[in-house]
Amino acid sequence: MFRLLVILSLLPGISASRPDSLVYARLDSMITEYTLALRTEDTPVKCREVDFMISSCSDSAARSHIAIKLYSNYVDSPVMGEEEVAIHIYDKWFATGEVKMNSETDLLNARIFADFNRNSLIGMDAPVLEMENLTGARERVPVKGKTCLLYFYDVSCPSCSTQTILLPYALSEVDFDIEFIAIYTGADRKAWETYCSEKLQFDNPHIRVHHLWDPEIETDYQRMYSILSTPRLFMVEPQGSIIGRRLSAESLGQLLIYAGAIQNLYDKYLK
């Protein structure tokens, strides 16, 4: 709270008629420090705090600057789940017109970000997709009652190639069943079939791989799971809630311990 009071004390010195770059730079630094201090709080607390900070500023130019800075911090946050705060800021302040962004292009980009992320946030029910497998049969994912990893990739994506190599190692010690749903985002069937036969091979018998694709994007998976680029990795617990998004092979460790505990409880009491 002390940091917030210091931030608010700067606001009278900022106005559209005197845009002091040094004041703005100091303000930005304090806002960033304050968002970092909030990281241990849950999402509703973060949303209340950013609302209070934005609403406490009576000058429109300063309010816009603060809202944009907060939005930027949460859009670019490395912390899984904080994008929900960015969506809240867009919905409450930018989409309603109460606060202006720098340009119509920035507003459009913010709307796209919100629309492509709001369906797959932490704690939400994972959108159900029905896609075609290698034999042409249809499969519905995620698989009910199982821990699922949904891995969206493209065969021509360098970052995907790296993750594809690392994932078998990251999952090599898993001692509970995981449905690994590998979803190809391209439209080249031959390239996909070759990739499936040569890549994503797991020695761990607890990992069951599903190779799926939707070349016509009939499932709207891009919007449902925010697939604007690849790779994208999600974890879904047995009852269908998303417990991990924007994951990488390197970040799976602690989440796998948590997922294993959830799967164990599900198998004992809810199966």
Instruction: Say whether pLDDT at 190 is over 90.
Output: yes
Query: How far apart, in whole angstroms, are the C-alpha atoms of residue 29 and residue 45?
Result: 21
> pLDDT value at position 11?
56
Contacts of 139 (CB under 8 A, 6+ apart): 130, 131, 132, 133, 210, 212
Distances (CA, A) of 173 to 31, 152, 265: 41, 22, 20
> pLDDT value at position 13?
52
The pTM score is 0.89
Q: How confident is the model at residue 26 (pLDDT cuts 50, 70, 90)?
A: confident
Instruction: Say whether pLDDT at 178 is over 80.
Output: yes
Q: Is 101 helix (H, G, I), strand (E, B) or coil?
A: coil
> Which residue reads 């360098």 in tokens?
158
Neighbours of 69 (CB within 10 A): 18
In this predicted model, what pLDDT tens digit does every residue of 228-267 receive, in sequence order? Answer: 999 999 999 999 999 999 999 999 998 999 999 999 999 9
> pLDDT value at position 3?
52
